[in-house]
Structure 1
Amino acid sequence: MNKTLLFSFLFIQNILFAQFSERSLSSEKWQFKNAKENKWLTATVPGTVHLDLMNNKIIPDPYKDENEKKVQWVENEDWDYQTSFVISSKELANQNIELVFNGLDTFSEIYINGKLLQSTDNMFRKWTIPVKQNLKIGGNILQVKFKSAVHAGKELAKKVPFTTPESPRSYIRKAQYQFGWDWGPRLVTAGIWKEVKLNFWNLAKLENVKIEQKALTKQKAALNIHTEILADKEGKYSVSINNKISNIQLKKGKNSIEIPFTIENPKLWQPNGQGEQNLYNIKVSLQKESKILTEKTERIGLKTIELVQEKDQKGKSFYFKVNGNPIYAKGTNWIPGDSFSPRVTKGKYQELIKACKDVNMNMIRIWGGGIYEDDEFYKACDENGILVWQDFMFAGSFYPADENFQENVEMEVKDQIERLQNHASLALWCGNNEVDEAIVNWGYQKQFKYSKEDSMKVWKDYKKIFHEVIPNAIKKYATSDKQIYWESSPSIGWGHKESLTEGDSHYWGVWWGEQPFEIYNEKVPRFASEYGFQGMPTLETTKSMFSGTPDLSLQNGTVKAHEKHSRGWEIIDNYMKRDYNIPTDFVKYNYVSQLLQARGMQIAIEAHRRAKPYNMGTLYWQLNDCWPVVSWSSIDYSGNWKALHYQVKRSFENQVILISEEKIEEDEILNFYVVNDNLEKVEDLYLDFNIMKFNGEKQGSGGLADSYTIEPNGILKFPFSLEEIIGNSKKDEIFLAITARDKNEKIFAQANYFFVKPKDLKLIKPTIKIKKISPKEIEVSTDVLAKDVYLLGDAHFSDNFFDLLPNTSKRIKLSKPLEKVEIMSLFDTMN
């Protein structure tokens, strides 16, 4: 054999045994243009057309001023993207080359070197296209031509003989919130919103790795490792799982392989507040003659989870059991972190999920009108012990069920199952957000004058997608029948009595129904998966709404434009009148609106927790924002904690004392509920309380004569006569301070209770002092009760919006040094 032939033979051998490799095309020089124009402009991938237009100064920032109105034209245009890339002879020598788009938004055509390769119609799918035959050595042109999703949706809507609500968004497999919501702008985007890359492989490759947990004991975890392998050449191969090798025989084409694997003496993954988040790396590699062709690493947690629904005297239970223990779900709802998702950084995901852990949450619901979140979101939930209630991306409308739509949805479910099912945090798959409720409760059929046949068609389509297509796809593509599927959230619409006795509930009697906060004490469901109230964002975020000098006024057009609920300001004012004095000063109004929101949610959360075990979950609406806005969020768009988030931390503590008043015949009763969400019993607890005036003068005291024991996951109720507790004291001049502690004086829980609404308190002007302990720590002290102490400054405070009792102090840590910290309390709003 001559040297040239030998070199060629070795070169081909090296290529055939080359490890799977990938090359990002996101970092190539991308351009875009309006399809009607000829001028190409610079683009960023991943990205969206709005971001590219902003970067090229074609449109203003829609988050600023009233600019949202000025950019609506963008959704009606078609947009072309392109880049050029060089392919080497070595790259082209690979047996297989695939072009992979992890996300295209939404209707597009993909061309290489002028040839149409693929049309797309789903923002949530991954598109993998064999392209070896379309590439050439040297320069290649990749083009993606996007059609207006609004126009495409309208064409699809024309095929249906009746009008559907929110048309045309329900015909488009695209993030529904982009069409505008009562907390978000209308910004209907297009673009390459996730990574694009080329994959090179030879002989065979791992398509996916799905890990099934067959059995879990203290001694061992029995797993099945499922993998799909695509083989270009049949023959003998081997699979290594954490260096344990199994020999396999592959046929040409797709192969489904299942290999058992055991972890000895496993450490469990526990939700936040219940233990450690132990995680294991499972490294799977495909080999040929001891050479690695391709490999994947999955990070898993070992846990058991079940949804318990058992009939009882009042209806049917609804709670999660994790690792054999009932868990009280404490958490929130998640919306996309930005109207332009590609700019949500890994750091922002980590920061927001860490903020959930820091306030004692253990569950988050991904709302069905957004996106299936980035891998970093689920990674953060795995690491922080936050269980994920995962909606599929359908929200508050009627959806079609023609054959193309069914197939599209099935492939969407397949892609997301294969991407997400290994995450330890995954708790439940839910078909949709409020689609059942929209059909049954919202009166669209009457509004649009449906015939009986039209109404039957809507319900039939609903059943097809959410009772057949999605659950069947889960069974088909998930590795285990233990995946929990729930058709719709809520399961029964608000206003039906069964919504409070079974399933999960979205209770909107507060805000939408304009009922007082106190109605939460009566309307307690089995599992509250949505409820909420609006509050303003922090001052820093409010100022960020302006491109120039902020005009902080409730009458300002920019401030008004960043409230997307049509009656938002009116509703906030109506509630504020009930509980607070309405300030005329903007800064004070901003402060009180946050207190109002926090107060409402505190009443709701504590009503839910007092009802344990009848109620076993409370997820308020909502954690975050997608732009600077007045909304239901507890953390604003800039990442600042509103008063609500600080209050959630207190209300979600694993061990709490909750207080409520009730009237039994003629007697007024004050109930003390002692709640223990921990998995350990607490013995020899003592409970005592003091009645105090706002200046610190003690008016009375009391407690339990004997100690008590509270079981794991337990709750105890201690009723007292209100008259005996407060005596002749005036309710508007006193408060109650209560403590539960053990025999060693270790505090189990503490609480303060006020007997009248905030506006009726006869507060005394406090002298609040701030002492600097270090550059990033201060001490706040007061002489008399300082209610709802508010620290103002461009930093994160370890606590804020807190009550400071007479003649006490509190140390606060700052995220960064501040020259000055301003301070305010509720007293400042009462004059």
Structure 2
Amino acid sequence: MIEQTLHTGWTMRRAGEQEWLPASVPGSVYGDLLSNGRMEDPFWKDNEDKALSLMEYDYEYVTQFDCPEEIRESDRVLLHFDGLDTIADVYLNGEHLGNAYSMHRIWEYDVKEKVRPAGNELRVVLHSPTKFIRQAFQECRTLGNDDTLEGFVHIRKAHYMFGWDWGAHLPDAGIFRPVTLLGIDRGRIDNVLILQEHERVPEADSDAAIAALGNRSVSGVVLKLQVTEETAGITDGVPKLMDVTGGRLFCGCGQHMSYTVEITAPDGTKSVTENSPSEIRIEHPRLWWPNGYGAQDLYTVKVILYSDGREIDSWEKRIGLRTMAMRRRKDEWGECFAHEVNGVAVFAMGGDYIPEDNLLGRVTPETTAKLLKKARFANYNAIRVWGGGYYPSDWFYDLCDEMGLMVWQDFMFACAVYELTPAFEANIRQEFIENVKRIRHHASLGLWCGNNEMEQFVFEKNSWLTKASEVRDYFLMFERIIPEIVHTYDPQAFYWPASPSSGGCLDEPNDPNRGDVHYWAVWHGNRPFSEYRKYFFRYASEFGFQAFPSLKTIETFTDDPEDYNAFSYICEKHQRQYGANGKIMGYMQQTYKYPSDFDTFIYASQLLQADAIRYGVEHFRRNRGRCMGAIYWQLNDCWPVVSWSSVDYAGRLKALHYYARRFFAPVLLSCEEQGMMSAEANMNREHFEFEKSIRLNVANETMQEAQVTVRWALRNPKAEILEGGEETLSVPALTSVWLDKVLYPQAELRTNYVSYEMEMDGQIVSDGTVNFSYPKYFCYENPQLSCEIAGDEITVTAQAYAKSVEIRNEEDNLVLSDNFFDMNAGTKTVKILEGNTEGIRLRSVYDIR
């Protein structure tokens, strides 16, 4: 197959206007208008409203190209679009080729008889998405998320573009993925399905045994290949396929079709198997493991298709040798729900991923790599692709393969109901088939999930339902159509009907004892952080807490000091959950003194967020085995906004991200303290009594036993030790171990705190502190923070107890090996990973005043 990219020479205009503007393909309408000075920055102040109005128009894109003879003389010539967003008409040399109506699909048009040697004109007309959904809503008033524009459910376009409780109303449009001209002789490979059979050694009969054996737990892997080849054109956008596995099939023109398979091992060793093998055995396999459990070894598989001995096409992908399933077994608490990789139950640690930008042209392999590197920096081993966006580009999954991030992949449905007309069903069926075939070979693919929050909110709480047929359509879509397609096209993958769910059939979809849970009593329910400790979810796939982004990020959308106030018009315009800034203030009142300036308020908000999620994750990890997943909401933003993210839109790390690096550490020491934060009592009551105690726990999420020494101490504000303890213990692989409770009835509520640390292999690998009082009541002494910089290291000195020490530079873009950490009096040294040291500043909770 011969390919010609069509990415140069594009121009665009608003339909009906005379002037054509330079355009980028791949790219988007907003991106091109912005680069040509025809719109203001949609993220600046309240320009979102102006940008939204621009989507009331249609836009035209045009380019000219020549078609080389080798393509024209091919048996077939196809015009191929990897992504059109969304309602589009495509013309070649003035002739209408067809229309597109889903950004989640590939669109191809046969142009063999239409393409010229030179001077071809390709024109794409992108129609107004806002007009489309408005008209569709008038015809069928199907409901969805209140934060979005009405009618968004009727268009197969990323839902978040129409607004969310963290997202703007910015429904961009464009040719957002590559455009190619394809010359096909005789046939082409449609796709290759690779199934794996792992031959496990007899002694690999438990998690512990497999952990001890590692890769030696599998003696060999048999790859079973199913190769499909497209033979006879396209009907209604769908190729006609033929299975060529076995090498004895013939295409419509009578030629014999066969293929060879080349496999390149991680060490570069290559093997070639000819004569269309249906099975290939790999001896002494190097398995793929999630981050923290082993190496991310990848094998390259190349399938070369021949017709009568002549190479006509090839397919090349990287795969990981691994098994990936969900462990669901009845136990004393209900039913477990855990990723099982190579036979080992893995505790999932990570965040929910939303689209990276409202302007799709800005999302590149480089931007995605920067974000996912930050995820791995925080010790993620999993990431959930949320169902209100779009299926990420191939590079996203490539990076997850390389970084060991298991992908929970939602299909693109969220917080709504859908009208399953015959046309809609045909459209989404093809969407599912294409994306399952595109993504299924990735080692990182953990599971397929039907939708986000529809089972729970639509049916358990009767949200958005207007007629009985919507219930029927839900079951058809998510419990019949999608699972059938997954079973057909990715038969070894696990399918889950919704998130959260207990397995479908409207059977208590947010049951804490089965399946996955979205837990929002902390935040939406205004419950205290300690509320997490009342629950032992089997897998928490959503829970979160908001914080403001860095002041430097806020300066990217306003330069007016009047806006630097949580309740200003602009700050609330960049806060999409109505009243949420007040919610942050409510939690702040419970925890910290009133901040005296906006920058300190931002710092305090980030500490609230970080502690809220820490309370949850540490509790879940202490109960490993019962709980097997902690995926917090959310990793990233798509524009500069106050949100639940731990990495803001500008890429700056909030305090939560550093906390995540610690609470997702492979071996974690955490403390379940009892004190004011867990008492939930009115301190002015006559009998305001509560226990003052600590109970330490070591969670070992590695494949090796950990030999550790744990120390703890009761201290005063100067960080002087009043009394302490120490214990050395062995923590088996893939377990958590409790130490005995230590009571401190004599502790002074406002002037005593407890520090704890864990040493392993001569290094302190985990530490922290807890207070028995609310932080706002603790009598901190001024720690008189100072620092010295030597090369790529910063050494901080504290003269007294310092809580949540922040190190930042002038641009607030430092990335350090640790930050927002607790200090006893003394020094701590961290490494500079990114950024410079100009204008270094330090602060701690003492400075929230």
Specify the SS of the correspondent of 2:451: coil
Of residues 98, 104, 107, the one that matches 1:127 is 107
Specify the SS of the correspondent of 2:176: coil
Specify the SS of the correspondent of 1:383: helix
Letter in 1 for 2:774: K
Letter in 2 for 1:124: H
In 1: Cα distance, 2:712 partner to 2:230 partner? 69
In 1: Cα distance, 2:296 partner to 2:725 partner? 41
Q: Which residue of 2 aligns with 1:786?
A: 802
In 2: Cα distance, 1:803 partner to 1:107 partner? 53
Decide whether aligned partners of structure 1 residues 162 and 398 sit closer, same or farther in structure 2, where only a CA change above 3 A counts: closer
Deviations 1:522-560 (A, max 9, x none): 133111000101001112211111268895333543323
Deviations 1:604-624 (A, max 9, x none): 111211222111110000000
Of residues 731, 743, 748, the one that matches 1:710 is 731
Decide whether aligned partners of structure 1 residues 562 and 649 sit closer, same or farther in structure 2, where only a CA change above 3 A counts: same
Preserved CA contact (<8 Å) 2:188 2:305: yes
Decide whether aligned partners of structure 1 residues 162 and 741 sit closer, same or farther in structure 2, where only a CA change above 3 A counts: closer
Q: Is 1:765 aligned to 2:788, yes or no? A: no
Of residues 487, 501, 509, the one that matches 1:491 is 501
Q: Which residue of 2 aligns with 1:9?
A: none
Q: Which residue of 2 aligns with 1:252?
A: none
Q: Is 1:23 aligned to 2:46, yes or no? A: no
Preserved CA contact (<8 Å) 1:48 1:192: yes
Of residues 306, 322, 326, the one that matches 1:287 is 306
Of residues 518, 521, 524, the one that matches 1:509 is 521
Q: CA deviation at 1:50?
A: 1.3
Q: CA deviation at 1:289?
A: 5.4
Q: Which residue of 2 aligns with 1:297?
A: 316
Preserved CA contact (<8 Å) 1:215 1:221: yes
Q: Is 1:241 aligned to 2:249, yes or no? A: no
Specify the SS of the correspondent of 1:630: coil
Point out the more displaced range, 644-653 or 656-665: 656-665
Q: Could you tell me the percent identity over the aligned residues? A: 32
In 2: Cα distance, 1:464 partner to 1:496 partner? 19
Over aligned residue pairs, what C-alpha RMSD do you find?
A: 2.4
Q: Which residue of 2 aligns with 1:40?
A: 20
In 1: Cα distance, 2:815 partner to 2:31 partner? 32
Specify the SS of the correspondent of 1:185: coil
Specify the SS of the correspondent of 1:488: coil
Q: Which residue of 2 aligns with 1:53?
A: 33
Preserved CA contact (<8 Å) 1:398 1:438: no
Q: Which residue of 2 aligns with 1:592?
A: 604
Decide whether aligned partners of structure 1 residues 771 and 748 sit closer, same or farther in structure 2, where only a CA change above 3 A counts: closer
Deviations 1:84-113 (A, max 9, x none): 111234432222211100001111111111
In 2: Cα distance, 1:797 partner to 1:411 partner? 43
Specify the SS of the correspondent of 2:739: strand
Specify the SS of the correspondent of 1:240: strand
Q: CA deviation at 1:133?
A: 0.7
After superposition, residues 250-329 of structure 1 pair within 5 angstroms as 259-288=278-307, 290-329=309-348
Of residues 620, 632, 645, the one that matches 2:632 is 620
Q: Is 1:693 aligned to 2:710, yes or no? A: no
Q: Which residue of 2 aligns with 1:525?
A: 537
Q: Which residue of 1 aligns with 2:151?
A: 168
Of residues 55, 76, 88, the one that matches 1:75 is 55
Q: CA deviation at 1:766?
A: 1.3
Of residues 387, 395, 407, the one that matches 1:368 is 387
After superposition, residues 199-218 of structure 1 pair within 5 angstroms as 199-217=182-200, 218=218
Preserved CA contact (<8 Å) 2:4 2:182: yes
Count of residues in correspondence between the two structures: 784
In 2: Cα distance, 1:311 partner to 1:133 partner? 61
Point out the more displaced range, 182-191 or 622-631: 182-191
Q: CA deviation at 1:408?
A: 1.0
Point out the more displaced range, 509-518 or 204-213: 204-213
Deviations 1:404-427 (A, max 9, x none): 111111100111111100100000
Preserved CA contact (<8 Å) 1:696 1:807: no
Decide whether aligned partners of structure 1 residues 458 and 495 sit closer, same or farther in structure 2, where only a CA change above 3 A counts: closer
Q: Which residue of 2 aligns with 1:180?
A: 163
Q: Is 1:728 aligned to 2:746, yes or no? A: yes
Point out the more displaced range, 556-565 or 273-282: 556-565
Preserved CA contact (<8 Å) 1:532 1:621: yes
Q: Is 1:675 aligned to 2:691, yes or no? A: no
Q: Is 1:827 aligned to 2:839, yes or no? A: no
In 2: Cα distance, 1:596 partner to 1:679 partner? 33
Q: Which residue of 2 aligns with 1:151?
A: 131
Deviations 1:635-692 (A, max 9, x none): 0111111000000111111111221135999976532212111122235x44332212
Q: Which residue of 1 aligns with 2:512?
A: 500
Preserved CA contact (<8 Å) 1:429 1:484: yes
In 2: Cα distance, 1:814 partner to 1:112 partner? 51
Specify the SS of the correspondent of 1:111: strand
Normalising by the residue count of structure 1, what TM-score does the alignment of the two structures yield?
0.90
Decide whether aligned partners of structure 1 residues 110 and 820 sit closer, same or farther in structure 2, where only a CA change above 3 A counts: same
Letter in 2 for 1:433: N
Of residues 453, 464, 476, the one that matches 2:476 is 464
In 2: Cα distance, 1:347 partner to 1:546 partner? 27
Specify the SS of the correspondent of 1:673: strand
Q: CA deviation at 1:74?
A: 1.9
Of residues 629, 634, 645, the one that matches 1:633 is 645
Decide whether aligned partners of structure 1 residues 189 and 690 sit closer, same or farther in structure 2, where only a CA change above 3 A counts: same
Decide whether aligned partners of structure 1 residues 540 and 667 sit closer, same or farther in structure 2, where only a CA change above 3 A counts: closer
Q: CA deviation at 1:696?
A: 2.6
Q: CA deviation at 1:79?
A: 1.8
In 2: Cα distance, 1:650 partner to 1:146 partner? 47
Preserved CA contact (<8 Å) 1:214 1:223: yes
Decide whether aligned partners of structure 1 residues 806 and 238 sit closer, same or farther in structure 2, where only a CA change above 3 A counts: same
Deviations 1:768-810 (A, max 9, x none): 2211202x33221122122211122133231221112212232
Q: Which residue of 1 aligns with 2:203?
A: none
Q: CA deviation at 1:443?
A: 4.3
Q: CA deviation at 1:379?
A: 0.9
Preserved CA contact (<8 Å) 2:501 2:509: no
Point out the more displaced range, 796-805 or 149-158: 149-158
Decide whether aligned partners of structure 1 residues 555 and 527 sit closer, same or farther in structure 2, where only a CA change above 3 A counts: closer
Preserved CA contact (<8 Å) 1:362 1:386: yes
Point out the more displaced range, 634-643 or 815-824: 815-824
Q: Is 1:804 aligned to 2:827, yes or no? A: no
Preserved CA contact (<8 Å) 1:634 1:644: yes
Normalising by the residue count of structure 2, what TM-score does the alignment of the two structures yield?
0.88
Preserved CA contact (<8 Å) 2:713 2:724: yes
Q: Which residue of 2 aligns with 1:220?
A: 220
After superposition, residues 327-406 of structure 1 pair within 5 angstroms as 327-406=346-425
